[in-house]
Every structure is written in C-alpha cells, then in structure tokens.
Structure 1
Amino acid sequence: MWIDRKIRQLLRPKPIAIVEACSIGVVSALAAVGLRQSVAWLEAWRLDLAGAFPAWIVLPLIGIVGGYLSGFLVERFAPEAAGSGIPQVKAALGYVPIALDLRVAVVKWLSTSLSLGSGFALGRQGPTVQIGAALAAQLSRWTDTSPTYQRQLIAAGAAAGLAASFNAPIAGVLFAIEELLQDVSDLTLGTAIIAAVVGGVIARTLGGRGMVPDLSQLPIHFALAEIPLFIGLGILAGLVGVCCNRSLLASLKFYRQRFRDRSLAIKIAVAGGVTGILALLSPYALLGTQNLQDFLIVGDINWQIAGEILLIQFVLCWVGFGATAPGGLFSPSLVLGAALGDAIATGLQSCYQAGICPTNLVLSSPTVYALTGMSAVFSAITHRPMFAIAIVWEMTTQFDLILPLTIGSVSAYLVAEQLFPGSIYQHLLTSRGIEIDRPDLAQRRWVGLTAADLMQRSVETLTCDTTISAAVTAFANSSHRGFPIVDDGKLVGILTQSDLSNSQQQDRQTSISTLMTQRVIVVSPQDPLTSVLHLLDRHQIGRLPVVEGNKLVGIITRADIIRVEADLLNSTVSPFKTRPEPSYLVYRTQSPATGRGRLLVPLSNPQTADILLRLAAAIALEFNYELECLHAIVIPPASHPAETEVDLTASRQLCDRATALGKVLGVSVHTQVRVTHHVATTILEVINDRHIDLLCMGWQGKTSTPARIFGNTIDTAIRQAQCDLMLIKLSDKLQLNLPVNELLAPNSSLDALMRLTHLNRWSIPISGGPNSEYALQLLPALTSLSRAPEIHLCQVFAPTQSPPDLHNLQMAADFICQNLDTMPTITPLYADTIATAAIDFATSKQCDAIILGASRESLLQQTVRGNIPDAIARGANCTVIVVRKADRDSI
C-alpha cells in the first residue's frame, strides 16, 4: 500500500506538467537555435556565391531552386507546413482538425531553412511557433494526455518556440495566451511560463543575442515634448499595417488565381526567382534580415535610404507571403517598422536643418523612433499591442522605452482596428472558411459541453445483493448493456453483459458482487467533453458513470456523444436530451474489392433508385470506384436498433437491383441494410467505416423541415461528411424503373439502361473555385449516358460589369474540348439574380440537366443573394446536380 501511495503521488498532474513543460522548452529551443543557425549559414553561402559569380544569375537561380525544394517538401510530405504556421496552430487550438506532429515539425524546419536561406524576405519566428507547437503535440501523444491538456501543451510549445526565437519569454507567454489559446487558467499559464522561460534561457545560452543589437552604448532617451511625434508615428504605422494586411491577402488571392493549376513547388519557385531579381534593385536587400534590422536601428542613414528599404521590403514580403512559402511575418513587420521610424526621424531632422520645421522641435535619437516604429507596425499587423510592446522591450531590455513603445503601439492598434478589424491571422483563417474567433451557437455549445450537460440523470442501477438470475432478467428487459452497481447511494462497481457471459458455471442465485468490475472509470460533472471522449477511446468502454465524490449522479454512453453534434445543427432540438443507439447492421452483400475508391449511394425511393444508381455507376466506371449501396430502416426512438424486428423484403429488393446493375456494367457493388433512428448519422457511420470517397444522394426538390435547406438528412451529410458529395434532383421524366429480369437480359440490358437517361443537353453555370472545377471533372462520366451530348456553358455577371471576364468560361471550354471531343457553347449572362438567370438560360436551351458546384458555406451558411444551388434546384424543371469537393486543403 505504501508503494502504491508513493507511485500515485509521483504521478500527480502538477509534477508531470512541470516535467513536460521543461521538456517542451528544451526541445523547442534546440529547434529554434538550429533553425537560426541553418538559415544564417545558407544566407552566408548565398551571399558568398553572389560575390564570387554574377549576382544577376546566382540570386534568381538560388531563389528558384531553394523555393522549389521548399515547396516540394511541403507539398509532398506535410501540406500543413505551408505559409507562416501560426494560423495552423491557432486553428488546431480552435478544435479544427489540422495535423500537428513530428512530421510537420521536421518538414517545417527543413522547408523554412531552404526558403529563408534562398533569399525570401520572411521571418523564422512564425515557423518556430509551429515547430514548437508540433513537437509539443507529438510529446502529448507519446505521454497519452487528454485533449484539453494537449491544447495546453501545444500552447506551451508555441510560447517556447517564440521565446527561443526572440529571447523574449514574457512575449512568448503573452502571444500564446492572447493570440492562440485565450486561456489564463493556472495550469495553462504555468505550463506556458515554464516552457517559455526554459526555451528563452537555452536559446540565449546557445544562440547568443536576440534580434536587436546591444544598445547599452547608444543614447536611449526622449523628451515629453516628443509625445505628439510618437502619436503621429503610431498613426502612420497603423496605416502601414492596414496596407500591409490588405496587400498580403490580395497577394494570396493573386497567386491562387494565377497558379491555380500549378503545384506549390512551382509557385514558390517562381516567387523565389522574382525575389532574387528584386534583390538586385537595392544593395540593402542583399543583407540578411538580422543585418538589415541592425542597420536600421543603429545605422547612420537618411530618410531616402529608409524609404527605399521600406518599399523594397514591402514588395519582397508581398511576393514571398502570397506564394505561401514557409516563413512568417514577425521579422518583416519589425523591419518595416524600423524603416518607418527611421524615415520619420531622419525626415524631421532634414526638415529642421532646412528650416521647414519649428525651431523649438525636440527630437531624440533615430534609434528610439526605429524601435517605436517596430512595435507600432507589429501592433498594427497582429492587433496585439501588449504583445508588441513586450517583444520589443524584452529584446532591448531598455525600460526607458516603455512610454514611446506604448504610445506608438496603442495608437497604431486603434487606427488599424478601425480600418481593418482583426489580425492578419484571423483573416487568413477566414479566407480558408475557418471561423474560430466568432463561432456560431452550435459550435460554442459543442466545445463547451461538460459531463453534466450530457449525462442521463435517471440511471437504472443494481445492488451488490442482486443475484445473477435477477441480473439476467434485468438485461433482458432493458436496452442497456451495462448497469452501475450502487451500495447506499455510492458507486461500487459496474456489471456488463460480458461479465454475465463468464458466469455460466456459477449458481444463478449467487450475488453479482463476485462478477462486477470494481475498478470503474468515472468522470465528474465538471469534466469537459474532450476528457470524456478521451476516456471512452483510451479504455474502449461504452459508458462512463458520472460521480460526485463516490455518489452516482448520472451516466454517459457512446450514443449520447455520437448524436450530439448532429442534433446541435437543429436549433429546435435540445442538445442535452438522451440520444439513441448507433445503427445496427442486419443485411450485407459484398463483391470483390477491385476499385481504388468507393462511392456511397443511399437508396430509399424505389421509383428513383435505378436512375440514381445509373448515374453513380457512370462515375464509378470513370474513376474506377466500387459502389456501396445503403438502405436505412428507420425505427422509433424508443426502440433499440439491435433488438427491433424489421421486414427486409423491400430492402433486399433494392439491394438486388443494385447488384444486378453492377453485373451489367461490370462495377463491383456492395450492399448493406441498417436499422437506425437517424438516417443522417447512419450515412456518416458508413462513410467512416467504409472509407467512402464520394457520396451520391437523391433529393426530392423540396423539404418540409423548417430552418433546413435540403432537409435534415442531406443538410447533416453536407455539413459533416468528410468526402466529396453529389446531390441529384431528378426530373419527372427520369423516374423510370426496369424489372430485374430485364436488367439481367444479356442482349437488351444496356439499351434498357440507356432508356433511363434522357440527359443530352447540359447546362453548366461557371463560378470559379474548386467545386466548379470538380463539376467539370465529373462531366465526362455523366455525359457518357448521352449518345450525342450538347454542352452549354454560362456565367452570370452583374449588369454593370463590362467587359466581362471570360477567363473561367474559356478554361472550362478548353477542358471540355480536350476531354469530351465536343465544342461547348459559351454564353455570358447579365442579371442581378444568379439563380433566375441560370434557370432561364437552361430553359431557353431546353437543357435536360444542370450541373453546378457549391462550397460548404454556400449550401448551409454564408450564401450571397440567397442559396443559389437551392434556388436553382427548386426552380428548374430539369435534372439538377450539385457537387461539393471535400475540403482537404491545408491553410
């Protein structure tokens, strides 16, 4: 007992947290120092080559090669490592499924070394944040921590990485708490502080000084009369920050449009070549980021040189950041701020000497203005003034700078927030469709759920005196698969069906106390949902008793958690009610697994099953997919799926039709019938279990469910399915069935199938983006159902837009010509309402089908001018096919 007590004391959370925080600090610091040294070595090598050989050849060539290798590593091994890295960490901490692990850390380290060493005007601090967070995430997996504690360790790793890069532990903690995690609990704050301090100390010991030169010999002083000048500098810095943020977002959009069909490696290589060419325009651009910053802070320069550096650095940052090259914005923003401060100070000095400024002008050293400008521009870009003040103050260790840093940073922040609300990282996430700073109500309720919110308070229990015979009767009369054992209101054990199965040799009048499991995994009512999920997964159990002390107050089952997010989508359903059990498989047929992917077709309406299967089979043949056909039998919520008797006659007929179609076309078809309470969650179960690549669903063209676009089932699938989606609304003339024996007839089966489809004239509204491209990719398969397809391309423009940009239309036409050997018609349309124009165009061309792409947000949340796919599908009399590509891209 003494040994067991000592072991438990050693394994208490706080000592473990301290050890883990120290380990994270050490590893993050070593990675940061290694990255700093590798970038410095590659920069020196690049400049040596530029001195030994013609610079106009060496610099662009190194930029191209280094950029290509960097992009290749990211694209091939870890797409999550593209760009700065801070948005990825911010999203991961916001419960967005983005990978952070050792693979990401290694690729980020190598790719950042290559990109920065080849001349990109970006910083290593953002990548170091992601590297530290990724290493911390990997450590948390090795030590098997809960998801909540894992987030705290990731934030600590980010803080340690930033502290090691700047030699600024306080700034690292502020950034992790203020920007990333937004949590100031004792454990979170303590873990981040320990990791940041350890990281900062090791980085200072191994890597020397930080990013600012020694200022002990320089005069760091100012007069109170200069406060208006610091305010003016802050205002200008706010304008520069707003301009920088807007231009960076514009550069990302520019690269996405111009390099849409190019790989990431090509895109970064082109940016590297342009960076090398631009570096030739100014000798100061040849300096490394560290040397350039030192030059701006302590160098004797004039306002023309400072302005030149400001302009060139701005353009270089625009070029590199838009290509999503591995590299951050911290160093470029500090250089921009130093250049702005120098330009202001030296410009005022020149005006004073020329007699333009008042004779009583008081002006301190340009170094003070350079450092104030650094803090102010940094504050304007990140919208974190306290972090900006702390980072410059810690790097300089000059307490006298606090007042000008505060004035400049706060002024810049107020201007930037007024003109461009939100930091650049928030806007980067928003541009990818990720909203974590302003989640909707369902998301807030989902993330904030606790065990008390989910548990069933009315719990069926047994006592220690219950006999085995009585327990068997209790299991037979209940849908539960486990009963808590309670003695005097206290939880003493749990009895499961597996425990009873081991009692066949015992007397039926024996007490169940000899069978029950006494070491029970429990949670408290305050435990978050993430901890509940962790325990269920780690111990592979189906239920968790909820206790206060030893008193049983409720129970949580897997079914309660599986249904919670789906129900939260409907605001009229309480998220805390008892959830039904998962679906139960009652019938299955399997064919040989010959395809390279799977296409799921839920079958419900026998009147449309054949044509829906025919369309799905055409795509399966084109992409070498197997067909997975699902029929769900819905039962009342009070019934248990595994214990309810159902009639399989109609279900097996649908499965037989699917199998017969597969034999005719040579497509491998698997079928299954499941008993369920909710069709939508059953579809999601099958998608995960069978690794579905494409979901093909039929739609009636209307819904009776309030607040739903396509209905409960389809809306839930659109929102949560992690696969491609094709939604089909069939016209009345396509609703035709064939007898199974006619499908199996060897001579007439294909002709009979062709009679199912009258899709000869196709209308494709073009809008650009990945979903429109995916619609074009599916078109060759779908038009294989037509003997002589006619394709009409259209794009709707505003009546005031003249001339129209036909680039997307022309690209779509070229794709069709190459893949279908047919010439489509191109028609620009002018209208205020996109849906009406698309429907009228299809009607005028007498089209049989419309196929269009729409993003996840377009279908469910952030529609513009109404929900366009919904409006077209409801208003068109022909067949309408809406496709959505799964969002697998990284930030």
Structure 2
Amino acid sequence: MQRKKSHDNTRFKFIITGLVIGAAAGFVVALFRLLIEKLLDFMKYLYMHPTPQIIIGIVIVSIIAGLFIALLVKQQPNISGSGIPQIEGQLHGDLDFNWWAILWRKFVAGVIGIGSGLFLGREGPSIQLGSAVGQGFADVRGKSGADRRVMIASGAAAGLSAAFNAPLAGTMFVLEEVYHNFSPLVWMTSLASAVAADLVSLNFFGLTPVLHLVYLKTMPVYMYWHIILLGILLGLLGMLYSKCTLAMPRVYALTHLSRPLQGLIPLLLVIPLGLAVPDLLGGGNSVILSFGAHVPLLWPLIWMFVIRFVFSMISYGSGLPGGIFLPILTLGAVIGGVYGVFMADMGLLPRVYIMNLIIFAMAGYFAGIGKAPFTAILLITEMVGSIKNLLPLALLSLTAFTVTDLLGGAPIYEALLSRLVLPNQLGRLHQPVRFELPIFAGATLDSAQVRDFQWPTDSLLVEIRRGDDRRIPHGDTVLRAGDTLVIMTDERHQRDVRKVIEKVAEAPET
C-alpha cells in the first residue's frame, strides 16, 4: 500500500513564529513610541512656558540624563546610533549581541534621548528593539544558524512596521536593506511579523496614517520635469548628508570627550534651540504634518532646512541612541517645500502642486541616502495613506538614487556598518600586511559587485583606487577594469590570499 506523501509545514511554522514575534515586538515598540511622544510633548510644553526655575531644571536634568545614557552606552556600546548597522552586521555574521542587554538599554536610553527633543528618529531604535525581541525568541527556543537569522530579521521588520504603521515597507526594508535576501522563508516570516506588529500598534495609535498629508490635485505628466529636477537636487543634497554624517565622529573627536560622554553636547545645545523654536524639536513628525495646514514662505523654509540639517548632524553624530530615518524624511519634505515654493514664486509651478512635491521628496531623499528606493516608495505610500503617487514616487526615487550612485555614494547604513566591523576585522590579523592588485578587462571581477565575490576569510578589501579617486568599498560597489584593489591580510596568508584574488582579477587566457 502506497504511503501518503507527508506535507511540509515548515512555512506555516515560520508564519506562526513571525506572528508571535511581531505581536511581542509590536507591543515593545508601540510602548517605546508612546513614551517618546509623551515626553516630547512635555518638553515642548516646558519650552513654551519658560521660567528661570524651569530652565535651570531642564539643564540639571539634561546633564543627569546625559551621564546616565553615557553609562548605558559604556556598558553596551552597540546601543548607540540607530542600531540598523548593528543588525546588518549581526545578520552577516560579523557581530553578535546579548539580546536582553540591548533591549532594555536601548529602550530606556532611546526614550530619554529622543524624547528630550533631539533631532533623532525612533525608527532605527525600533528596528533594533524588534530584532532583539526576535533574537530573544530564537535563543529561548534554542534556534541557531539560518532559523535564528530569519527570526532576527522578522523582528526588525516588526519594529519598523510598528514605528510607522507600515507593514509592507517594514518587510521590504529588511529584504532590500538589512537581509539582502528575497527567499520565500524570509519574506513570509517578516511579512507575518510586520502585520502582527502593525495590528498591535494600531490599537495604541488608531487607524490614521502617521504622516497623513492630503494634496488637492494629481500632478499632470507634462509637469514631471519638476520631479526630475527635484530628484537631482535630492541626490546632491543626499550625498552631502551622507558625507557629513560619516565625518561627524572625527568632528566630535576634537572635543576630547570619551565617546559615551559626547551625548552631553547635543543634550545641552538643544535647550536654547527649544526655547527659540520648540515646534522644530524631535525627529520631525510634527514638522511634516504642519505642512498640511500651512507651507511656510521660502526663507523660513531655507532656515528650517539649515537648522534641521545642522542639528541632525550634531544629534546623530554624538552616538546617542537614536536614528536618522525620520530626520531624513523630514529634511526631504523641507527640500520639497523649498523647491516647490521657489518654483511657484518664479511662476513655473502652480502652488496647488507644492504639497505633491513635499510628499514625493520624502521618498526621494531617503532613496538617495539609504539606497533603498523600493522601501522609500512603499514607506511614503503607507505613511501618507494614498496609492495614487506610485509613478512620481518611483521616478523621483530612481532619479535621486541614480545621482547619488553616480557620485559614488554608499548606502548610509552599510557605510556605518563598515566602520563598526573594520576594527574587529583588523584585530583578527596578527601581522597585518597590505598589497595591491589591478583588475584587468574581461576579468571575473570586472563589472561585478563587491558582494558577488566570496573574498578569502583572511582578507579585507579596504580601498578601491579608480584613477585619482579613492573609494571605501561597500557591498553594492561595482568593480571596474582599471580599478586597483587595496587588500589587507595576515602575513602568513598573504601568498594564498593573493593567489585566490589574482585568479578573478586577471584577464582570462585566450
């Protein structure tokens, strides 16, 4: 008698796992988001009703808060920043953490730092909190390897979904930016987790989209040249944002404060800013929503961009636990406002379309900086609550992405990750040496991305020289004939490593 073929329920089990992780992560992130909003509202109230006693109290509490956060960061350095590079490193196998040590410290430090009014986003920390929940679930169940990575990734998707009420964008962000893998098991588990987290978050915050902006008229196709020009502007300013962000640790090093104590600087500098312009405090959610009621004139918008750009650098560059996700979207909205108002003042754009450009620019700026256009398109579609913008969103995101890519810009989170893992990788080399190899036309590496090649275990690609240009490599850097690779390895393995790489860098024999 023929036995019935057993049914493979692996995917079903992972979907259930995703739902459980998503529900738990959704609750953690929703509570995180709620506490930040309450604290930020309280701080804005204090700044709007200042007295000498209140100002002195804010200064004292800010110093205490800064010292407390410094203690948490010193205990667990991987809670600093957004947390997204740390998750990428964990999924790539370069980093690993104690999930509980990350979870509670990131939660507490994030609420205090972001809720104080700094120009930091809650989304990156929410993603790290979600991934910590996923890792905790995996560790409790004794999972390792690929199963553990899938659970961490699904928790990350849940974190972004709960932070923005955007389950599709949360899933796509994990696939496009964090995991770099579109396998069915990964996306199904992540989607289930993101949906569960969104359902939990909706019970806290309701059904209204996070950035509910409404435009009056759809922009006609014959005016899409504005989208191309705006995309170029966003790509150029996105490159500026990335370069400034990556340069900030060197700027802060000039203070001669230890890294954990550098957070005191923005916590004190935000006080006069809060007294002067309390409405600008925070990650920027309220700034974006204010455009729905009134778009300022050109010069106030330009000043708003300068203030938010500079203080975003100061806030994130300090290493405080907080992200750049929402600050990037806010800057994109302001840039869209500046462009739209300028063109309207010049008589080249009907004012009714300014709001359209503000919405589109949020996606374009994130696409240029994060190099994740699909996430950008889905995120703004879900956050604004309209699917009518897909074509202009795609066109603007693609334009900004292309401009940044042509200028050699790296995905911001991948560039930040390389700075985290490089010291560890170099530390594993007992007697580090470096050598250079050119890439010849027709070689295997010609026109290949860095991540397409399995580099030898004992090697590290530290630089790519292209003519007079020197580039820090990242995963999607395309290698070209004529490039010179600068590689570090251990002296004991130099010969073997060189031999492996020479095979794919030299021209094939004819």
Into which bin does the TM-score normalised by the smaller protein fall? Answer: 0.7 to 0.9
1:6-54 superposed Cα distances (whole Å, 9 cap, x missing partner): xxx9995334322211111101111111111110111122123221424
- The counterpart of 2:245, out of the listed 245, 248, 257, is 248
Looking at structure 2, the residues matched to 708 and 161 of structure 1 have their Cα atoms a distance apart, in angstroms, of 38
Secondary structure, in 3 states, of the residue corresponding to 1:409? Answer: helix
Query: Percent of aligned pairs with the same residue?
Result: 25
Query: Aligned to 1:400, what secondary structure does the other structure show?
Result: coil
Tell me the residue number matched to 2:332: 337
Name which of 293, 298, 302 aligns with 1:303.
298
**Residue 182 in 1 paired to residue 177 in 2?**
no
What is the letter of the counterpart of residue 303 of structure 2? E
Paired residue secondary structure (1:222): coil
> Deviation string for 1:636-683 (max 9, x for gaps)?
xxxxxxxxxxxxxxxxxxxxxxxxxxxxxxxxxxxxxxxxxxxxxxxx
Q: How does 1:704-783 map to 2 (within 5 A)?
A: 710-711=491-492
Aligned mates of 1:12, 1:68 — CA distance in 2: 50
Flag structure 1 segments of 5+ consecutive residues without an equivalent: 1-8, 445-564, 570-706, 720-860, 862-891
Which of 282, 289, 293 does residue 294 from structure 1 map onto?
A: 289
Aligned counterparts, 1:214-613, within 5 A: 214-215=212-213, 218-259=215-256, 262=258, 264=260, 266-286=261-281, 289-352=284-347, 357=348, 361-362=349-350, 364-434=352-422, 438=450, 443=455
CA contact (8 A) 2:88 2:179 kept: yes
Match of 2:109 in 1: 111
Change (3 A) 1:270 1:406: same
Inter-CA distance 363–44: structure 2 relative to 1 (3 Å threshold): closer
Aligned counterparts of 1:277 and 1:433: Cα–Cα separation in 2? 37
CA distance in structure 2 between the partners assigned to 1:213 and 1:443 by the alignment: 43
In the alignment, structure 1 residue 120 sits paired with structure 2 residue 118: yes
The equivalent of 1:66 in structure 2 is: 65
1:27 correspondence with 2:24: yes
Shift of 1:711: 3.4
Please tell me the residue identity of whatever aligns with 1:386.
F
Task: Give yes or no for contact 2:114–2:283 (8 Å, CA) kept in 1.
Answer: no
Partner residue in 2 for 1:681 = none
Please give the alpha-carbon distance, in whole angstroms, between the structure 1 residues aligned to 2:69 and 2:142. Answer: 32
Alpha-carbon contact 1:230-1:408 (below 8 Å) kept: yes
**Larger relative helix fraction:** 2
Q: CA deviation at 1:61?
A: 4.8
In structure 1, the partner of 2:88 is 90
Q: CA distance change for structure 1 residues 367 and 64 in 2, over 3 Å: closer, same or farther?
A: farther
SS in 1 for 2:291: helix
- Per-residue CA distance 1:568-597 (angstroms, 9 max, x = gap): 77xxxxxxxxxxxxxxxxxxxxxxxxxxxx
Conserved? CA contact 1:67–1:271, under 8 Å:
no
* Distance change >3 Å, CA 443–CA 342, structure 1 → 2: same
2 CA distance for matches of 1:215 and 1:99? 39
- Superposition TM-score, scaled by structure 2 size: 0.79
Cα distance change of structure 1 residues 288 and 237 upon mapping to structure 2, 3 Å threshold: closer
Query: Residues 504-537 of structure 1: CA distance to partner in whole angstroms, max 9, x if unpaired?
Result: xxxxxxxxxxxxxxxxxxxxxxxxxxxxxxxxxx
Q: Tell me what 1:823 maps to.
A: none
d(CA) in 1 for partners of 2:141 and 2:414? 31
For 1:209 and 1:338, locate their aligned partners in 2 and report how far apart those are by CA, in whole Å: 23
Shift of 1:427: 1.1
Asked whether the 8 Å contact 2:118–2:283 carries over to 1, the reply is: no
Q: Considering Cα pairs closer than 8 Å and 6+ residues apart, tell me whether 1 or 2 has the greater RCO.
A: 2
Q: Deviations over 1:166-201 (max 9, x none)?
A: 111110111001111111112111111111111112
Counterparts of 1:15 and 1:708, CA distance in 2? 44
Change beyond 3 A, Cα 1:384–1:251: same
Three-state SS of the structure 1 residue aligned to 2:119 is: coil
Cα 1:192–1:440 change in 2 (3 A) is: closer
Segments of 5+ residues of structure 2 without an aligned counterpart are: 1-5, 426-448, 460-487, 502-510
Give me the whole-angstrom Cα distance separating, in 1, the residues matched to 2:490 and 2:96. Answer: 29
Q: Which has the higher strand share?
A: 1
State the shift of 1:153 in Å: 0.9
Distance in 2 (CA, whole Å) between partners of 1:322 and 1:301 is 28
Q: What's the RMSD between the two structures over aligned residues?
A: 3.0
1:297-332 CA-partner distances (Å, limit 9, x unpaired): 442321222211111111111101111111111110
Q: In structure 2, give the amino acid aligned to 1:369.
A: L
Structure 2 CA distance, aligned partners of 1:111 and 1:118?
Answer: 11
Give the AA of the match of 1:38.
L
